[in-house]
Structure 1
Amino acid sequence: MWTQIFRQAAENIKKRTNNGCTECSYRMPCPFGVNIPKNFRIWNDFSMYGNKEKTKQAFFQDMDPSSRGNQCQKCGKCELVCPQSISIRKDLEAAFKELSTLK
């Protein structure tokens, strides 16, 4: 019984993720300094858990502004090597837009 409850809870949380980034870092370093895995981790964590204060801390205080998603120049090099075939450029833009509203 508990196994099923835990499995269902995990599935419900997973459904809230914005993308399937596994933080493999294959697409790092970004030539423009964007920390792709960190941007996606913060965005996904906020989507899954909704902790606004923790997200604000991670995005606005712990993360260097030069590594945020708005620094992406859309060169596409990251998408060529992403094993999850994530639309990184589009997702970085969406992540930055959403996270910026928390300020």
Structure 2
Amino acid sequence: MDLDELKHQALRIHSLYDRQNQRERGRTWTRTDFMLGFMGDVGDLTKLVMAEEGTRDMPGGRPALEHELADCLWSVIILAHLYDVDLEHAYTRTMAELEEKLTTGHTQKPPS
């Protein structure tokens, strides 16, 4: 599956969530809501990585880790859509910039 297919699938899921939230809560998520949801997913991912490394007990094991990685990817795709960012272009440009810096010896701390 390429990035365009991932984006189309993510947007279908986004639409389904919008319908569910409208039905259950009378409103859809804002961009801020999506960012906060993403932060929650990153927190869950952090705990699962710690469990994978043996520094924390966390139920779910490898399947839960895979699930959270996929949730985080979905959130990044949706946030890029909501902020009208061409993720493929931004990724390609950013990786080219990093590769150039790293191969020419002008290294610096990776962006956080």
Higher relative contact order (CA 8 A, sep 6+): 1
Normalised TM-score (structure 2):
0.31
Normalised TM-score (structure 1):
0.33
- Of the two, which has the highest radius of gyration? 2
In proportion to residue count, which structure has more helix?
Answer: 2
